[in-house]
Structure 1
Amino acid sequence: MANGSLEDWLHSKDSTLVEIKNLNLHQRLNIAIDIACAVAYLHVHCEIPIIHCDLKPSNVLLDDELVAHVGDFGLARFLSADTQSSSIHQTSSSLVRGTIGYTAPECGMRSELSTYGDMYSFGILLLEMFTGKRPTNEMFKDGFNLHNFVQDSLPDRVEEIADSVLFHSRQVDTIESMRSHESHAFMGNSKIEKCLISVFRVGVSCSVTSPRERMNISDAVNELHSIRDALLKTEIRRV
């Protein structure tokens, strides 16, 4: 696709790309909603629900308008109509489906595949999008993971864990706005923090250890839409 993968944009400093790419807060929210809507289509709106089994940044492709498209269905499974899960009875190599860091804890056990696994992956992906940290970062070890990192920092230390680019891009926009509209109020980092706290809470709710306690995709879509609407209303009041 025209703009490559979400992986390229989130971690361009780690790639071989010549140009460093950055996504601002609005763009990340839009992409998060695109991904959530795609997962909702698979889980809720398909005649036979589909489990993707490998949600991660490199499997999210961005078109020329930065609209996100979920790709790579190589591990996808249809959901059993009678059990709402897909049983694994293949060889041991099939026990863990997906990618380390994004795969739900229960997927390492001889358990049934379900939409809960996708929700865990989506939650981790969401946390990665707004912290800029991979779930496989070397800081995550001995039971400490991206989920814990974010959960332990909410709500008071959100600026410490969020991708610094989000605050920098906001400051640049604000400087330009102040040059054109000197009488307008400064939005301030507190508005960004409020938005990020809400996004992080969705990510944390989606990636809890207990599968049945995870937020479902329909609720995640609604929450993310509400967060974006609230941010847009704040922006409108500034103009």
Structure 2
Amino acid sequence: MSKPLFFMTILLLAGCTAGPNFAPVVDLHSPPERTPENYVVQRGDTLYSIAFRYGLDYRGLASANGVRGGAPIFPGQTLRLVDNVVGNTAPVTSTITQASPPSVSTTPSAPKVSSAPSRSTPVQKKSTVASNMPKPVPESFTGEWVWPVKGKLLRGFSASQFAHKGIDIAGNMEQPVSAAADGVVVYAGSGLVGYGKLLIVKHNERYLSAYAHNNRLLVKEGDQVKQGKVIARMGDTGTDGVKLHFEIRKDGKPVDPVALLPKEGSR
């Protein structure tokens, strides 16, 4: 048998035996992640973004780690990824391991006499401390939602093991993205793999909404937003085309946004 014919035979046999065993397609919108026992806080993380990433209630995560009263979290800190029952008032023995926060001395020191030019002490950058857990929440949230953008529904919510945790809406580059309800921005960044430039808005103690793949973010963490306010511009960051990936979380768990949004509003 000639060499060309031999190699062609091998290729044909390989094709026949390969069958339908194709590599699984990873959903960029909700990359599958096994929840570890612990998580080391990274720069830019908030309790909200960590809870969102692993499908936890941020209140339970805070309770499990003894984070109360606005205490900040720090890069290098280790959190237990436990979703404690909300409302549990029993004392929590914290197992947090954290990098020491910048210390501030309250005792004035005597001035030093030196002929050398004085140099100001460098200020610790605020970005070294991750955002605090509690945020003020508007009291105007009524439970009514509006569509964040107008566009064709490309992909719906999947309840099967939360394979697709929200909905995808088609649109154009730089199309305005609006807040679906009154709230406060609790995360603005691109630290969650598969979501691109992401905003998370807290509406009350139970509901969060998320807006992913934006080209530009127009609000920052801590900003109060009104329903219908333009908070971002649509883009294709972290995905394969221009679209908005929109999620609603209740008590940390994804719910179908279409069930809460008005019937009119999409096309």
Alignment TM-score > 0.5, same fold: no
Q: Which has the higher contact order (CA 8 A, sep 6+)?
A: 1
* TM-score of the two chains, using structure 1 as the length reference: 0.29
TM-score (norm 2): 0.26
Q: Select the structure of larger CA radius of gyration.
A: 2
